[in-house]
């Protein structure tokens, strides 16, 4: 397979010894591992096929695409094969993980410009390569830019993401509205506009801001609000007071990428010639030093998990483990959360009148302090990492050589070794450094340890099924298509052993309302809502007539769907996707009783849904209509009243926005 140079990597899972977990995404867990025949460290991404929204053909096609990728700045796969219900993707191990992880752990306010320049230049080379070969990455973000200890930079998640496989007919037939707006170009969000590789240039510009600030613009807002802001507001840029430190050429480069008219955005090739990149330092000079004093990747990951677990534990809300986690994750702009009252409040506030939008525009443009304050309120400042013992768990030397934090179970049928780690954490430090300043870190406390233990997957012996690689021309084991095609089966059905082993992290379900991984996930701490990834094929069949929009990560339709009844806004099977489902109802007006808050929510809900449905998102987005906004807002307020009265129905349901 591609990306592997001339070495051969076997498709036998027993040839890979899984070591520490180094990353966790919407649908996959990534392990550092040893490829035993060569005694070589590799990364193994265990992609949960049950959480993929794709059939095996899509997966195989993507695997074929991957096999053709060969560029030093694009991470390829050595090989891939199926183990139980997991697709294992074997790839080079990037010892410093993603830029997102690095920022979360040590640079919450972003990197310095020289490092940003180097990282972006390497990423842009990757994009130039992909675009030249006719590919759109569609998921450019700091979380998908991986770093190696020598400063090497690689763009990841091309063709391996579960969501990348989620495309084509299946996507269409679901009539869904999927994705996250933060990195998305306006044309991707807007119906009928279509998009091309220039969408990656927009995302690249957003990623530049993400690296500069530690977060993507608007990332504290709920998806719909971000969507509106992306479309209606002036493009974000480096115009805050805090951005004075950045060079003119950096600002100019970002502004070139973040032009709403895609035709006016430069190509990757042209952008590479910009002075900002011409003057960029080699990554070994500017990137390598970023992690010089940091603990090993897996210990950073553990620290992030601990931090999230601690926050979860300290949430006061009763019986709300997931809810609490969702809150915490939501505030961090992550890929998954549950809708509860607070979330609904957020959602309610996302529909703004023009005054509000104007206020945000001004706020954004002028970089007023309270924007920053709000950001800090939501995310915490850099001091979060170490300042609050009660709420934040931090890396400390105690994490190194810790008390069994590693999984000692089996994943995908192969035992994860604790003792066979290739290198001990000799780099472990008792403090973290951020931009030269040190943050002293308290030791973990027992409560946190116990939380972590709780979040560990159970040790379950998994069945080993080596089913062959997903390679061009190769036949995948017979059981796999069946498995892949039944990926939406009920969770009540018999689970595979591996699923059981990981069920603690599999709260996202196919059958229920929006859920969260009820495990502190280092990745989900910071990862934005996962895009569905994959290429949306151009729509040429008649079935698209009800589609409001499908290209890109968003697919908005007005067509009736009968997916998960009663749960209309939920995560897709791959956790990070938002799905706004549409369900036809008689086009009656709201009943008179709608103002009566004693009316059962179960009765009221369909009418609310219907009303939402009547409000075309397309029109809403295009018009930015005050009237519609106000109408929706009013409905949301009524919904709030009901919710606040403790209607359990709503508390357990994902809120439904019928916008299609």
Ligand X SMILES: Nc1ncnc2c1ncn2[C@@H]1O[C@H](COP(=O)(O)OP(=O)(O)OP(=O)(O)O)[C@@H](O)[C@H]1O
Residues that bind ligand X (CB under 6 A): 22-28, 30, 43, 45, 75, 91-94, 97-98, 101, 143-144, 146, 156-157, 161, 335, 523, 527, 530, 576
Q: Which of 395, 514, 413, 407 is nearest to 455 (CA)?
A: 407
CA of residue 511 relative to chain centroid, distance:
21
> How long is the chain?
660
Distance CA 358, CA 368 (A): 14
Residue 440: exposure state from Cβ atoms within 10 A (0-12, 13-18, ≥19)? exposed
Distance CA 327, CA 171 (A): 29
For the chain, the straight-line distance linking the first and the last C-alpha, in angstroms and rounded, comes to 42
Extract the runs of DSSP E, i.e. beta strands, from 95-215.
145-147, 153-155
Phi, psi of 157, deg, nearest 5? 65, 30
Query: Residue 78 or 277: which CB sits closer to ligand X?
Result: 78
Cβ neighbours of residue 302 under 8 Å, at least 6 residues apart? 399, 402, 405, 452, 522
How near is the Cβ of 341 to ligand X at its closest, in Å?
26
Distance CA 404, CA 302 (A): 11
Q: Are 314 and 451 in contact, with CB atoms under 8 Å apart?
A: no
Distance CA 518, CA 505 (A): 6
Distance CA 405, CA 309 (A): 13
How near is the Cβ of 32 to ligand X at its closest, in Å?
7
Both tokens assigned to 590: 């709201």
Both tokens assigned to 602: 């179960």
Using alpha carbons only, give the angle 330, 336, 338 rounded to the nearest 5 degrees.
75
The H or E element containing residue 607 is: helix 601-614
Q: How far is CA 216 from CA 29, 92, 373, 380, in A?
A: 23, 27, 16, 15
How near is the Cβ of 19 to ligand X at its closest, in Å?
12
- According to DSSP, residue 21 is labeled E
- According to DSSP, residue 274 is labeled S
Q: Residue 577 catalytic?
A: no
50, 58, 84, 139: the active-site residue: 139
Query: Residue 143 or 237: which CB sits closer to ligand X?
Result: 143
Distance CA 10, CA 196 (A): 37
DSSP of 411-456: ETTEEBPSTT-SS--TT--SEEEETTEEEE-PPP-HHHHHHHHHHS
CA of residue 596 relative to chain centroid, distance:
39
HSE at residue 173, side-chain half, CA atoms within 13 A, is 8
- According to DSSP, residue 351 is labeled S
Distance CA 257, CA 268 (A): 10
Both tokens assigned to 446: 């027992």
The annotation status of 45 as a binding-site residue, yes or no, is yes
Query: Residue 62 or 449: which CB sits closer to ligand X?
Result: 62
Distance CA 27, CA 30 (A): 10
Residue 153: exposure state from Cβ atoms within 10 A (0-12, 13-18, ≥19)? buried
Pairing mode of beta strands 569-571, 578-580: antiparallel
The annotation places the binding site for ATP at 45
Annotated binding site: 45
Active site residues: 139
């Amino acid at each position: 397979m591609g990306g592997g140079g001339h070495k051969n990597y076997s498709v036998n899972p027993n040839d890979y010894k899984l070591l520490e977990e180094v990353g966790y995404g919407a649908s996959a867990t990534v392990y550092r591992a040893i490829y035993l025949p060569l005694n070589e460290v590799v990364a193994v991404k265990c992609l949960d096929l049950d959480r993929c929204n794709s059939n095996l053909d899509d997966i195989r096609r993507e695997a074929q695409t991957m096999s053709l990728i060969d560029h030093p700045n694009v991470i390829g796969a050595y090989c891939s094969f199926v183990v139980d219900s997991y697709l294992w993707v074997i790839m080079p191990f990037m010892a410093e993980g993603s830029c997102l992880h690095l920022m979360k752990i040590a640079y919450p306010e972003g990197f310095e410009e020289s490092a940003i320049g180097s990282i972006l230049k390497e990423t842009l080379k990757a994009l130039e390569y992909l675009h030249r070969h006719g590919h759109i990455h569609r998921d450019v973000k700091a979380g998908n830019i991986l770093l190696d200890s020598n400063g090497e930079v690689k763009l990841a998640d091309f063709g391996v993401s579960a969501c990348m496989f989620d495309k084509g007919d299946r996507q269409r037939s679901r009539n869904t509205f999927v994705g996250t707006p933060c990195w998305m170009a306006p044309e991707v969000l807007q119906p009928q506009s279509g998009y091309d590789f220039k969408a990656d240039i927009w995302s690249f510009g957003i990623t530049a801001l993400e690296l500069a600030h530690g977060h993507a613009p608007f990332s504290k807002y709920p998806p719909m609000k971000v969507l509106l802001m992306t479309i209606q507001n002036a493009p974000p840029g480096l115009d805050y007071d805090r951005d004075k430190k950045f060079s003119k050429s950096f600002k100019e480069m970002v502004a070139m990428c973040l032009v709403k008219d895609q035709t006016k955005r430069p190509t990757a090739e042209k952008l590479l010639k910009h002075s900002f990149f011409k003057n960029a330092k080699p990554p070994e000079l500017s990137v390598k030093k970023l992690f010089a004093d940091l603990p090993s990747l897996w210990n950073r990951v553990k620290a992030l998990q601990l931090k999230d677990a601690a926050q979860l534990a300290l949430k006061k809300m009763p019986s709300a483990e997931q809810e609490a986690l969702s809150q915490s994750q939501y505030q961090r702009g992550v890929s998954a959360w549950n809708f509860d009252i607070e979330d609904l409040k957020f959602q309610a506030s996302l529909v703004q009148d023009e005054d509000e939008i104007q206020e945000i525009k001004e706020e954004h443009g002028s970089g007023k302090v309270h924007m920053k304050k709000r950001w800090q309120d939501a995310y915490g400042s850099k001091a979060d990492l170490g300042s609050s013992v009660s709420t934040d768990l931090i890396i400390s030397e105690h994490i190194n050589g810790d008390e069994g934090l590693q999984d000692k179970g089996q994943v995908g049928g192969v035992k994860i070794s604790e003792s066979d780690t290739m290198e001990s954490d000799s780099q472990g430090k008792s403090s973290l450094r951020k931009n030269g300043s040190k943050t002293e870190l308290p030791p973990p406390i027992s409560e946190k340890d116990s939380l972590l233990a709780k979040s560990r997957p159970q040790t379950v012996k998994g069945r080993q099924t080596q089913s062959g690689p997903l390679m061009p021309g190769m036949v995948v084991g017979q059981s796999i298509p069946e498995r892949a095609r039944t990926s939406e089966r009920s969770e009540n059905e018999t689970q595979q052993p591996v699923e059981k082993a990981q069920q603690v992290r599999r709260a996202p379900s196919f059958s229920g309302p929006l859920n969260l991984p009820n495990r502190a996930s280092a990745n989900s701490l910071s990862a934005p809502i996962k895009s569905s990834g994959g290429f949306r094929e151009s729509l040429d069949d008649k079935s698209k007539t009800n589609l409001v929009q499908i290209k890109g990560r968003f697919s908005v339709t007005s067509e009736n769907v009968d997916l998960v009844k009663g749960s209309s806004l939920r995560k897709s099977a791959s956790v990070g996707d938002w799905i706004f489902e549409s369900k036809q109802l008689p086009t009656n007006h709201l009943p008179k009783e709608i103002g009566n808050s004693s009316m059962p929510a179960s009765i009221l809900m369909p009418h609310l849904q219907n009303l939402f449905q009547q409000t075309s998102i397309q029109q809403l987005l295009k018009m930015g209509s005050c009237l519609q906004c106000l109408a929706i807002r009013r409905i949301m307020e009524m919904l709030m009243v009901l919710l606040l009265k403790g209607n359990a129905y709503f508390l357990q349901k994902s809120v439904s926005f019928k916008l299609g």
